[in-house]
Amino acid sequence: MQVLVVLCVLFLSAAIARADDPILIRFSHVTSEATPKGHGAELFKKLAEERLGGKVRVEVYPRSLKFNDDQALLALLFGDIELAAPSFSKFRSYSRQMQVFDLPFLFSDVDAVHRFQAGEAGRQLLDSMVPLGIKGLAYWDNGMRVMSANRPLRVPEDADGLRFRIEPSAVMQVQYRALGVATVPMPFGQVREGLKMGLVGGQENAWSNIYSKGFHDFQKYFTEARHSFLGYMLVTNAEFWSGLPPEVRGELEKIVREVTVEVNRIAGEKAQSDRQRVIESKKAEVITLSDTELEAWRAVLKPVWSAFEPQIGREIIEQAQRANLSP
Ligand code: SIN
Protein backbone atom coordinates (compact mmCIF):
# COMPACT_ATOMS: atom_id res chain seq x y z
CA MET A 1 0.00 0.00 0.00
CA GLN A 2 2.78 2.39 0.99
CA VAL A 3 4.54 1.65 -2.30
CA LEU A 4 1.34 2.43 -4.20
CA VAL A 5 0.99 5.83 -2.43
CA VAL A 6 4.63 6.70 -3.20
CA LEU A 7 4.13 5.75 -6.87
CA CYS A 8 0.96 7.89 -7.08
CA VAL A 9 2.78 10.87 -5.57
CA LEU A 10 5.68 10.43 -8.01
CA PHE A 11 3.30 10.13 -10.99
CA LEU A 12 1.32 13.21 -9.97
CA SER A 13 4.40 15.36 -9.42
CA ALA A 14 5.77 14.28 -12.83
CA ALA A 15 2.42 15.21 -14.45
CA ILE A 16 2.40 18.61 -12.70
CA ALA A 17 5.99 19.26 -13.82
CA ARG A 18 4.98 18.40 -17.41
CA ALA A 19 2.06 20.83 -17.30
CA ASP A 20 4.46 23.59 -16.23
CA ASP A 21 7.06 22.78 -18.86
CA PRO A 22 7.44 25.39 -21.61
CA ILE A 23 5.80 24.55 -24.92
CA LEU A 24 8.55 23.32 -27.25
CA ILE A 25 8.61 24.78 -30.77
CA ARG A 26 11.19 23.13 -33.05
CA PHE A 27 11.92 25.13 -36.23
CA SER A 28 13.80 23.20 -38.89
CA HIS A 29 15.09 24.77 -42.09
CA VAL A 30 17.75 24.24 -44.72
CA THR A 31 19.53 27.55 -45.32
CA SER A 32 22.39 29.13 -43.39
CA GLU A 33 21.92 31.57 -40.53
CA ALA A 34 23.13 34.35 -42.87
CA THR A 35 20.04 34.19 -45.10
CA PRO A 36 16.67 35.99 -44.68
CA LYS A 37 15.09 32.73 -43.45
CA GLY A 38 18.01 32.04 -41.10
CA HIS A 39 17.63 35.52 -39.57
CA GLY A 40 13.86 35.06 -39.36
CA ALA A 41 14.11 31.78 -37.46
CA GLU A 42 16.55 33.26 -34.92
CA LEU A 43 14.48 36.42 -34.45
CA PHE A 44 11.32 34.34 -33.92
CA LYS A 45 13.13 32.37 -31.19
CA LYS A 46 14.44 35.55 -29.52
CA LEU A 47 11.10 37.37 -29.47
CA ALA A 48 9.04 34.31 -28.50
CA GLU A 49 11.28 33.45 -25.56
CA GLU A 50 11.58 37.10 -24.44
CA ARG A 51 7.88 37.91 -24.59
CA LEU A 52 6.43 34.60 -23.48
CA GLY A 53 9.01 34.15 -20.70
CA GLY A 54 8.99 30.56 -19.55
CA LYS A 55 5.89 29.55 -21.51
CA VAL A 56 7.63 28.75 -24.79
CA ARG A 57 11.02 27.32 -25.74
CA VAL A 58 12.17 27.52 -29.35
CA GLU A 59 14.85 25.30 -30.87
CA VAL A 60 16.14 26.30 -34.31
CA TYR A 61 17.81 23.74 -36.59
CA PRO A 62 19.31 25.52 -39.64
CA ARG A 63 21.36 24.06 -42.56
CA SER A 64 19.33 20.81 -42.85
CA LEU A 65 20.79 19.79 -39.46
CA LYS A 66 17.55 18.07 -38.52
CA PHE A 67 15.67 17.50 -41.75
CA ASN A 68 16.26 17.98 -45.45
CA ASP A 69 13.68 20.05 -47.30
CA ASP A 70 12.12 16.91 -48.78
CA GLN A 71 11.49 15.62 -45.23
CA ALA A 72 10.43 18.78 -43.38
CA LEU A 73 6.73 18.75 -44.22
CA LEU A 74 6.31 15.09 -43.25
CA ALA A 75 8.22 15.78 -40.03
CA LEU A 76 5.79 18.63 -39.34
CA LEU A 77 2.80 16.35 -39.91
CA PHE A 78 4.27 13.62 -37.70
CA GLY A 79 4.87 16.10 -34.87
CA ASP A 80 8.68 15.90 -35.04
CA ILE A 81 8.91 19.68 -35.57
CA GLU A 82 6.42 22.52 -35.13
CA LEU A 83 7.65 25.13 -37.65
CA ALA A 84 9.19 25.06 -41.11
CA ALA A 85 9.49 27.52 -43.97
CA PRO A 86 9.95 25.49 -47.16
CA SER A 87 10.21 27.24 -50.49
CA PHE A 88 6.99 27.31 -52.51
CA SER A 89 8.20 24.50 -54.80
CA LYS A 90 8.26 22.04 -51.88
CA PHE A 91 4.47 22.20 -51.39
CA ARG A 92 3.50 20.57 -54.67
CA SER A 93 2.47 17.23 -53.12
CA TYR A 94 0.14 19.09 -50.75
CA SER A 95 -1.28 21.85 -52.93
CA ARG A 96 -1.15 21.96 -56.72
CA GLN A 97 -2.28 25.60 -56.54
CA MET A 98 0.98 26.58 -54.85
CA GLN A 99 2.69 25.94 -58.20
CA VAL A 100 1.49 29.39 -59.24
CA PHE A 101 4.55 30.85 -57.51
CA ASP A 102 6.91 28.91 -59.81
CA LEU A 103 5.41 29.90 -63.18
CA PRO A 104 8.18 31.61 -65.17
CA PHE A 105 7.73 35.32 -65.87
CA LEU A 106 4.39 35.46 -64.06
CA PHE A 107 5.35 38.08 -61.44
CA SER A 108 7.11 41.17 -62.70
CA ASP A 109 8.82 41.93 -59.38
CA VAL A 110 8.77 41.39 -55.61
CA ASP A 111 6.07 44.02 -55.09
CA ALA A 112 3.77 42.09 -57.43
CA VAL A 113 4.40 38.91 -55.42
CA HIS A 114 3.49 40.83 -52.23
CA ARG A 115 0.29 42.21 -53.78
CA PHE A 116 -0.76 38.71 -54.84
CA GLN A 117 0.00 37.27 -51.38
CA ALA A 118 -2.05 39.99 -49.69
CA GLY A 119 -4.99 39.45 -52.07
CA GLU A 120 -7.79 36.91 -51.97
CA ALA A 121 -5.93 33.98 -53.56
CA GLY A 122 -2.79 34.57 -51.53
CA ARG A 123 -4.74 34.57 -48.26
CA GLN A 124 -6.69 31.46 -49.26
CA LEU A 125 -3.50 29.58 -50.10
CA LEU A 126 -2.30 30.02 -46.50
CA ASP A 127 -5.26 27.92 -45.35
CA SER A 128 -5.48 25.61 -48.37
CA MET A 129 -3.55 22.79 -46.70
CA VAL A 130 -5.29 22.90 -43.32
CA PRO A 131 -7.44 19.83 -44.18
CA LEU A 132 -4.13 17.97 -44.64
CA GLY A 133 -2.77 19.26 -41.32
CA ILE A 134 -0.53 22.12 -42.54
CA LYS A 135 -1.35 25.71 -41.60
CA GLY A 136 0.32 28.64 -43.33
CA LEU A 137 1.24 31.49 -40.97
CA ALA A 138 3.00 33.90 -43.30
CA TYR A 139 4.88 34.38 -46.54
CA TRP A 140 8.58 35.10 -46.31
CA ASP A 141 10.79 36.46 -49.09
CA ASN A 142 14.14 35.47 -50.37
CA GLY A 143 14.53 37.00 -53.83
CA MET A 144 14.37 36.68 -57.60
CA ARG A 145 16.04 33.52 -58.87
CA VAL A 146 19.22 33.72 -60.93
CA MET A 147 20.35 30.96 -63.33
CA SER A 148 23.96 29.82 -63.28
CA ALA A 149 26.21 27.59 -65.36
CA ASN A 150 29.80 27.32 -66.47
CA ARG A 151 28.97 28.78 -69.85
CA PRO A 152 27.30 32.17 -70.36
CA LEU A 153 23.52 31.91 -70.79
CA ARG A 154 22.41 34.91 -72.83
CA VAL A 155 19.72 33.36 -74.98
CA PRO A 156 17.68 30.19 -74.37
CA GLU A 157 19.70 28.17 -76.92
CA ASP A 158 22.81 28.62 -74.75
CA ALA A 159 21.32 26.30 -72.13
CA ASP A 160 20.69 23.41 -74.54
CA GLY A 161 22.32 20.16 -73.41
CA LEU A 162 23.11 21.25 -69.84
CA ARG A 163 22.05 19.37 -66.68
CA PHE A 164 20.50 21.54 -63.96
CA ARG A 165 19.72 20.92 -60.32
CA ILE A 166 16.11 21.86 -59.69
CA GLU A 167 13.86 21.97 -56.66
CA PRO A 168 11.21 19.21 -56.64
CA SER A 169 9.05 21.34 -58.91
CA ALA A 170 7.09 20.04 -61.89
CA VAL A 171 7.03 23.60 -63.24
CA MET A 172 10.83 23.81 -63.22
CA GLN A 173 11.03 20.40 -64.86
CA VAL A 174 8.84 21.53 -67.76
CA GLN A 175 10.56 24.92 -67.88
CA TYR A 176 14.00 23.36 -68.33
CA ARG A 177 12.71 20.73 -70.71
CA ALA A 178 11.59 23.61 -72.93
CA LEU A 179 15.21 24.80 -72.87
CA GLY A 180 16.65 21.38 -73.73
CA VAL A 181 18.10 21.04 -70.22
CA ALA A 182 18.08 17.76 -68.26
CA THR A 183 16.94 18.18 -64.66
CA VAL A 184 18.01 16.56 -61.40
CA PRO A 185 15.76 17.28 -58.38
CA MET A 186 18.10 17.55 -55.41
CA PRO A 187 17.69 18.71 -51.79
CA PHE A 188 19.17 22.15 -51.19
CA GLY A 189 21.77 20.76 -48.76
CA GLN A 190 23.38 18.71 -51.56
CA VAL A 191 23.59 21.36 -54.29
CA ARG A 192 27.06 22.69 -53.47
CA GLU A 193 28.50 19.16 -53.53
CA GLY A 194 26.53 18.37 -56.71
CA LEU A 195 28.07 21.39 -58.46
CA LYS A 196 31.53 20.65 -57.09
CA MET A 197 31.47 17.04 -58.29
CA GLY A 198 29.96 18.01 -61.64
CA LEU A 199 26.82 15.93 -61.07
CA VAL A 200 24.98 19.00 -62.30
CA GLY A 201 26.35 21.82 -64.42
CA GLY A 202 23.83 24.51 -63.49
CA GLN A 203 21.19 25.62 -61.05
CA GLU A 204 18.91 28.54 -60.20
CA ASN A 205 18.58 30.25 -56.85
CA ALA A 206 18.36 33.55 -54.99
CA TRP A 207 21.52 35.57 -54.32
CA SER A 208 21.58 34.98 -50.56
CA ASN A 209 21.50 31.20 -51.07
CA ILE A 210 24.12 31.38 -53.83
CA TYR A 211 26.50 33.49 -51.74
CA SER A 212 25.99 31.76 -48.37
CA LYS A 213 26.53 28.32 -49.95
CA GLY A 214 29.37 29.48 -52.19
CA PHE A 215 27.81 28.22 -55.41
CA HIS A 216 29.97 30.80 -57.18
CA ASP A 217 33.02 28.67 -56.27
CA PHE A 218 31.84 26.25 -58.96
CA GLN A 219 29.74 28.37 -61.35
CA LYS A 220 31.31 30.98 -63.62
CA TYR A 221 28.24 32.76 -65.02
CA PHE A 222 25.06 34.03 -63.37
CA THR A 223 22.20 35.17 -65.62
CA GLU A 224 19.61 37.57 -64.26
CA ALA A 225 16.45 36.89 -66.26
CA ARG A 226 14.17 37.75 -63.28
CA HIS A 227 11.98 34.85 -64.40
CA SER A 228 10.84 33.65 -60.99
CA PHE A 229 10.83 34.41 -57.31
CA LEU A 230 12.12 32.28 -54.43
CA GLY A 231 9.86 32.68 -51.43
CA TYR A 232 8.62 30.64 -48.50
CA MET A 233 5.49 29.78 -46.63
CA LEU A 234 6.05 29.70 -42.88
CA VAL A 235 3.99 26.70 -41.80
CA THR A 236 3.02 24.91 -38.63
CA ASN A 237 1.14 21.75 -37.71
CA ALA A 238 -2.51 22.85 -37.78
CA GLU A 239 -3.52 20.75 -34.77
CA PHE A 240 -0.56 21.94 -32.70
CA TRP A 241 -1.35 25.58 -33.50
CA SER A 242 -5.07 25.35 -32.72
CA GLY A 243 -4.26 23.51 -29.47
CA LEU A 244 -2.06 26.34 -28.13
CA PRO A 245 -3.45 28.40 -25.24
CA PRO A 246 -5.19 31.39 -26.94
CA GLU A 247 -2.98 34.03 -25.29
CA VAL A 248 0.19 32.19 -26.39
CA ARG A 249 -1.13 31.73 -29.93
CA GLY A 250 -2.13 35.40 -30.14
CA GLU A 251 1.31 36.59 -29.03
CA LEU A 252 3.05 34.18 -31.42
CA GLU A 253 0.92 35.46 -34.31
CA LYS A 254 1.94 39.02 -33.43
CA ILE A 255 5.58 37.95 -33.37
CA VAL A 256 5.23 36.21 -36.76
CA ARG A 257 3.92 39.49 -38.24
CA GLU A 258 6.88 41.44 -36.85
CA VAL A 259 9.42 38.83 -37.95
CA THR A 260 7.92 38.75 -41.47
CA VAL A 261 8.55 42.49 -41.88
CA GLU A 262 12.16 42.01 -40.82
CA VAL A 263 12.73 38.91 -43.00
CA ASN A 264 11.45 40.76 -46.05
CA ARG A 265 13.59 43.81 -45.26
CA ILE A 266 16.69 41.62 -44.98
CA ALA A 267 15.73 39.77 -48.19
CA GLY A 268 15.57 43.06 -50.12
CA GLU A 269 18.91 44.11 -48.70
CA LYS A 270 20.64 40.78 -49.38
CA ALA A 271 19.38 40.57 -52.94
CA GLN A 272 21.71 43.56 -53.54
CA SER A 273 24.56 42.95 -51.10
CA ASP A 274 25.10 39.23 -51.70
CA ARG A 275 24.97 39.83 -55.45
CA GLN A 276 27.68 42.45 -54.98
CA ARG A 277 29.76 40.05 -52.85
CA VAL A 278 29.65 37.44 -55.63
CA ILE A 279 30.85 40.08 -58.12
CA GLU A 280 33.61 41.22 -55.76
CA SER A 281 34.81 37.63 -55.32
CA LYS A 282 35.87 37.85 -59.00
CA LYS A 283 35.09 34.15 -59.29
CA ALA A 284 32.03 34.67 -61.44
CA GLU A 285 30.46 37.06 -63.91
CA VAL A 286 26.91 38.41 -63.64
CA ILE A 287 25.12 38.62 -66.97
CA THR A 288 22.49 41.32 -67.38
CA LEU A 289 20.26 40.66 -70.38
CA SER A 290 19.24 43.14 -73.05
CA ASP A 291 15.52 43.62 -73.76
CA THR A 292 15.80 41.48 -76.90
CA GLU A 293 17.52 38.67 -75.01
CA LEU A 294 14.93 38.85 -72.23
CA GLU A 295 12.16 38.63 -74.80
CA ALA A 296 13.70 35.44 -76.18
CA TRP A 297 13.61 33.80 -72.70
CA ARG A 298 10.02 34.94 -72.20
CA ALA A 299 8.98 33.52 -75.57
CA VAL A 300 10.32 30.06 -74.70
CA LEU A 301 9.24 29.92 -71.06
CA LYS A 302 5.82 31.58 -70.86
CA PRO A 303 4.07 28.76 -72.81
CA VAL A 304 4.90 26.54 -69.80
CA TRP A 305 1.94 28.15 -67.97
CA SER A 306 -0.67 26.41 -70.10
CA ALA A 307 0.46 22.95 -68.91
CA PHE A 308 -0.26 23.98 -65.31
CA GLU A 309 -3.40 26.03 -65.67
CA PRO A 310 -5.73 23.03 -65.09
CA GLN A 311 -3.95 22.22 -61.80
CA ILE A 312 -3.54 25.77 -60.50
CA GLY A 313 -6.77 27.24 -61.81
CA ARG A 314 -7.19 30.08 -64.28
CA GLU A 315 -8.61 32.45 -61.66
CA ILE A 316 -5.49 32.18 -59.46
CA ILE A 317 -3.19 32.82 -62.43
CA GLU A 318 -5.32 35.82 -63.42
CA GLN A 319 -5.15 37.23 -59.90
CA ALA A 320 -1.35 36.87 -60.07
CA GLN A 321 -1.29 38.72 -63.40
CA ARG A 322 -3.48 41.50 -61.99
CA ALA A 323 -0.99 41.87 -59.12
CA ASN A 324 1.54 43.09 -61.68
CA LEU A 325 -0.48 46.25 -62.15
CA SER A 326 0.39 48.82 -59.52
CA PRO A 327 -2.58 49.68 -57.27
C1 SIN B 1 15.58 27.40 -49.52
O2 SIN B 1 15.86 28.58 -49.77
O3 SIN B 1 14.95 27.05 -48.56
C4 SIN B 1 16.08 26.34 -50.47
C5 SIN B 1 15.77 26.66 -51.87
C6 SIN B 1 16.26 25.54 -52.78
O7 SIN B 1 15.91 24.37 -52.58
O8 SIN B 1 16.97 25.85 -53.73
Q: Angle CA(149)–CA(152)–CA(155) in degrees, nearest 5?
A: 110
C-beta neighbour count of 57 within 10 angstroms = 15
pLDDT at 9: 47
17 vs 91, residue with greater confidence: 91
Q: In the structure, what pLDDT confidence band is assigned to residue 278 with cuts at 50, 70 and 90?
A: very high
Q: How far is the CA of 231 from the centre of ligand 1 (A)?
A: 9
Residue 10: per-residue pLDDT:
46
DSSP summary character for residue 21: S
Task: Over range 165-189, report the average pLDDT.
Answer: 97
For residue 210, the CA-to-ligand 1 centroid distance in Å is 10
Q: Give the per-residue pLDDT at 18.
A: 61
- The atom of ligand 1 lying closest to the CA of 85 is 3
User: DSSP H helical segments within 163-237, as ranges?
Assistant: 170-178, 191-196, 207-213
The CA 114 to ligand 1 mean position distance, Å, reads 19
pLDDT of 14 > 90? The answer is: no
What is the number of domains present in the chain? 1
Task: Give the pLDDT confidence score for residue 20 in this predicted structure.
Answer: 78
Average pLDDT score over residue span 106-116? 97
pLDDT at 16: 42
CATH code, domain with 92: 3.40.190.170
Range of the domain at 206: 2-322
Least confident of 66-70, 107-111, 173-177, 293-297: 66-70
Which of 29, 31, 184 to mutate for ligand 1's pocket (most ligand atoms within 8 Å of CB)? Answer: 31
Amino acid 17: pLDDT: 44
Atom of ligand 1 nearest to the CA of 191: 8
Nearest CA to ligand 1 atom 6: 188
| 141 close to 110: Cβ distance less than 8 angstroms | yes
Task: Judge whether 153 and 159 are in contact, CB under 8 Å.
Answer: yes
Mutation to probe ligand 1, out of 87, 145, 263 (largest number of atoms < 8 A from CB): 87
Is pLDDT of 284 > 60?
A: yes
Rounded Cα distance, 253 and 143, in Å:
24
How many whole angstroms from 203 Cα to the centroid of ligand 1? 11
Assess if residue 92 is contained within a domain.
yes
Q: What is the dihedral of CA 279, 284, 289, 294, to 10 degrees?
A: -120
How much distance in Å is there from the Cα of 299 to the middle of ligand 1?
Answer: 26
Whether residue 51 lies inside any domain: the answer is yes
Q: What mean pLDDT value characterizes the chain?
A: 94
> 87: which DSSP letter?
B
Measured in Å, residue 87 CA sits from the centre of ligand 1 at 6
DSSP 8-state assignment for residue 39: H
Q: Return d(Cα 155, Cα 74) in angstroms, integer.
A: 39
pLDDT of residue 12: 46
Report how far ligand 1's centroid is from the alpha carbon of 77 (Å).
20
According to the model, what pLDDT value does residue 2 have? 54
Ligand 1 centroid to Cα of residue 316, in Å, is 24
Instruction: Enumerate residues lining ligand 1, CB below 6 A.
Output: 30-31, 69, 87, 142, 167, 188, 205, 209, 230
Q: Considering the domain boundaries, does residue 105 fall inside one? A: yes
The pLDDT tens digits for 61-82 are 999 999 998 799 999 999 999 9
Using the predicted structure, report yes or no on whether residue 299 has a pLDDT greater than 70: yes
Residue 8 has pLDDT above 50, yes or no: no
**Domain membership flag for residue 34:** yes
Q: Return the percentage of the chain with pLDDT > 90, whole number.
A: 92
Q: Is the pLDDT of residue 205 over 60?
A: yes
| 280: pLDDT strictly greater than 60 | yes
What per-residue confidence (pLDDT) applies to 250? Answer: 98
**Is there a domain that residue 327 lies in?**
no
* 24 occurs within a structural domain: yes
Q: Which pLDDT belongs to residue 142?
A: 98
Taking the CA of residue 188 as reference, the ligand 1 atom at the shortest distance is: 7
Task: Measure the CA dihedral 102/107/110/113, to 10°.
Answer: -70
Average pLDDT of the segment spanning 25-42: 98
- Does residue 118 fall inside a structural domain? yes
- Output the pLDDT for position 237: 98
Q: Is 154 helix (H, G, I), strand (E, B) or coil?
A: coil
pLDDT at 15 over 90: no
Which H or E run contains 294?
helix 291-301
pLDDT > 70: percent of the chain: 94
